[in-house]
Amino acid sequence: MIVPDHWAEARVQHREGRRQVTVRRFGWSETTAADAQAMAEQRANDALRRILSGEAVDRRERKAAYNGAIGVPIREEVLARHGEEVVTRNGYGAHCLNSPRALFADVDFDTATGGRPVAGVAAAILLVGGLASAATGRWLWTAVAAFAALALSHLLVQLALRASTASRGGPEVVARRKIDAFVAAHPAWSLRLYRTPNGLRLLATHATFDPTSPEVAAFFAAVGADPLYVRMCRNQRCFRARLTAKPWRIGMPSRMRPRPGIWPVAAERRGLREAWIAAYEPKAAQHAACRFIDTLGSGVVHLALRDVVALHDRASRAQETLVLG
């Protein structure tokens, strides 16, 4: 896991006859801006050399905060460092705990309805109209009808899945069954269980873990961890837990300014960001990111993880009776 304090971008060009190649690359450093710039220039020159040799290489890296890109570290503002753990501000303004060793997993409840009723009715109408027009040779409507049929089929499948989940006790009960089954099969494990606004959070405390290990992958699959989170963990070699509320859940009028909220922000736009943060922080302080429910399994807390557990629970307000955000 790498979460740098300093970022830079380098741009190199090569012209040969009428052909011009421009390459841009990022650089980063945990020490100085100069080191970040030196890395950016080295990476840009290396990429240019590979392109000129005939290799298929992207000419520009996408500027993203936490996109699971292999080889590019987490690009977020560092708020605090606690040993191996780093607290950052993510792309929409919330505080996030990043850890190379503390296994977190967020399990979102499957509450998809499969589409709004109005959309379903519209699809049905289009389907009927399309089939009728197909009989008269109006092929444009046939294509529309085919699309509508797919939409309606998706709606029916999703509604059936929703009914199946409800018959088994609802999404929370289904999620808990998966977690309880895993703990029963792995009695040496210890999992702290938290409630989040849209699901559950798990924190394994009995041991430290490598985010890329097969054991972690098996755990994620068994408990139904969010697929996007799973990919991010593997590519960034980092576990992650949101510590403060999402802004749209606590009455913030807009997403973090300026948009997009990718770090670092240009000096002339820093004021917009600081004003947004000044409005966000007091609102976030009135909410919890999650609420502690129980400890499942052995109850063991590894010595190396005691401070991580304390940091997470304190910063997320998990032990307080606050509204989840």
Which tens digit of pLDDT belongs to each residue from 207-259?
Answer: 999 999 999 999 999 999 999 899 989 988 999 999 999 999 999 988 888 88
pLDDT-above-90 percentage for the chain = 67
**Model confidence at 18: pLDDT above 80:** yes
More confident residue, 144 or 1: 1
Specify the pLDDT at position 138: 66
Judged by phi (left if over 0) then psi (alpha if -120 to 50, else beta), residue 305 lies in alpha
**Model confidence at 314: pLDDT above 60:** yes
pTM of the model: 0.78
Identify the bridge partners of residue 16 per DSSP, sorted by sequence position.
Answer: 19
pLDDT digits (tens, 9 = 90+) for 193-208: 999 999 999 999 999 9
pLDDT digits (tens, 9 = 90+) for 46-80: 999 999 999 999 999 887 776 555 667 888 999 99
Contact 224, 38 (CB under 8 A): no
* 322 three-class SS: coil
Distance CA 251, CA 22 (A): 44
Specify the pLDDT at position 164: 45
Contact 162, 174 (CB under 8 A): no
Taking the CA atoms of residue 162, residue 163, residue 164 and residue 166 in that order, the dihedral angle to the nearest 10 degrees is 90
Contact 107, 95 (CB under 8 A): no
Handedness of CA 5, 2, 292, 288 (dihedral sign): positive
- What are the E-state strand segments in the chain? 6-16, 19-29, 77-82, 85-89, 95-99, 104-108, 190-196, 199-204, 239-242, 287-288, 291-297, 323-324
Specify the pLDDT at position 20: 92
Contact 93, 212 (CB under 8 A): no
Specify the pLDDT at position 253: 85
**Model confidence at 143: pLDDT above 90:** no
> For the purposes of burial, counting CB atoms within 10 Å of the CB of 158, is it exposed (0-12), middle (13-18) or buried (19 or more)?
middle
Query: With helix as H, strand as E and coil as C, how does 94-128 read?
Result: CEEEEECCCCEEEEECCCCCCCCHHHHHHHHHHHH
Distance CA 61, CA 10 (A): 11
User: What average pLDDT does the structure give for the chain?
Assistant: 87
How would you list the strands of the sheet with 104-108, edge to edge? 104-108, 199-204, 190-196, 291-297
Where along the chain do its domains lie? 6-61, 78-110+170-324, 117-167
**Model confidence at 155: pLDDT above 80:** no
Specify the pLDDT at position 116: 46
> For the purposes of burial, counting CB atoms within 10 Å of the CB of 258, is it exposed (0-12), middle (13-18) or buried (19 or more)?
middle
Specify the pLDDT at position 115: 44
